[in-house]
Structure 1
Amino acid sequence: MLTFICWLLLWVICWPLALLALVLWPIVWLISIPFRILGIAFDAVFAFLRALLFLPSRILGGRS
């Protein structure tokens, strides 16, 4: 019986949190878009720098 009461208490406490997460998730996703774009840009910059650094090795016949 105590387990059933604990499950009911959990249900009463957690359903508002679940609805709040459901409502806030799209807002968090929209806010995170600029950070994802920034991460892609930094990844591209570092890939370019790596290619630039290894260019002499590739020209001289180093392994690819």
Structure 2
Amino acid sequence: MAGFLLWLLLLVFCWPLALLALVLYPIVWLVLLPFRLLGLTMNAVFAFLHALLMLPARVLRGRPA
């Protein structure tokens, strides 16, 4: 809501810049989308490696004495 109000304020005081921001926002979002997907993938890979490397410790810890 605050972002929308700031955009309206920008529209009142500097409408060409507000319209440019309105047009460029989807383009910037599309350009940054592959980096978000890459970050999600890397997070999953590191979580998998962490689980794989910690598996022997979890097996030994769960073993009854």
The answer to whether TM tops 0.5 is yes
Mapping of residues 28-39 of structure 1, within 5 Å? 28-39=28-39
For 2:61, the equivalent position in structure 1 comes to 61
Query: Are 1:48 and 2:48 matched, yes or no?
Result: yes
Aligned-pair CA distance for 1:37? 0.8
Give the whole-Å Cα distance in 2 for the aligned partners of 1:38 and 1:26. 19
Aligned letter for 1:25? Y
TM-score by length of structure 2 reads 0.70
Report how far residue 51 of structure 1 moved: 0.4
SS of the residue 1:44 aligns to: helix
Runs of 4+ displaced beyond 3 Å: none
Offset of 1:61 from its aligned partner?
A: 1.7
Offset at residue 33 of structure 1 (A): 1.1
Say which SS state the counterpart of residue 61 (structure 1) adopts: helix
CA RMSD in angstroms comes to: 1.5
What is the TM-score of this pair, normalised by structure 1?
Answer: 0.71
